[in-house]
Structure 1
């Protein structure tokens, strides 16, 4: 049987790790932002392509879906 204290949790690893160099922190921040933008763009494009029945299933009106679908990817 393995002792739980031998294997740190993911959270404790993150809080106890050495600081990354500034350029690495910036690169990670940019990667996270680019990923958010990509997901947002893809989601909005797909939302604007849903049928009336699909929109009704998720509780949206066509106007709401189109308004959301036309927002730029950088706007939350």
Structure 2
């Protein structure tokens, strides 16, 4: 029928979409955690070169893994 769609196929597509979104989010969280750990290990000289203080880095490193500055 014109304009009719089969709802039997929607749950699978929706689950696939949800799985893709969830796995992407978990990967992003791992990446944020890795980056924050790497920042925390930078030397004071490197931080100075970047114009950052140890307090700036500590504040960022102390954030929760799900706190993504790109998703406000």
Report the TM range for the smaller structure's normalisation: 0.7 to 0.9
TM-score, with normalisation over the residues of structure 1?
0.69
Corresponding residue SS for 1:21:
helix
Alignment-derived partner of residue 65 in structure 2: 73
Cα distance in structure 1, aligned partners of 2:49 and 2:27: 27
The CA RMSD measured in Å over matched residues stands at: 1.3
**Offset of residue 58 of structure 1:** 1.8
Alignment-derived partner of residue 59 in structure 1: 51
Unaligned runs of at least 5 residues, structure 2: 1-11
Unaligned runs of at least 5 residues, structure 1: 1-19
Aligned pairs for 1:1-76 (under 5 A) are 21-76=13-68
**Offset of residue 24 of structure 1:** 0.6
TM-score, with normalisation over the residues of structure 2?
0.73
Residue correspondences, number: 57
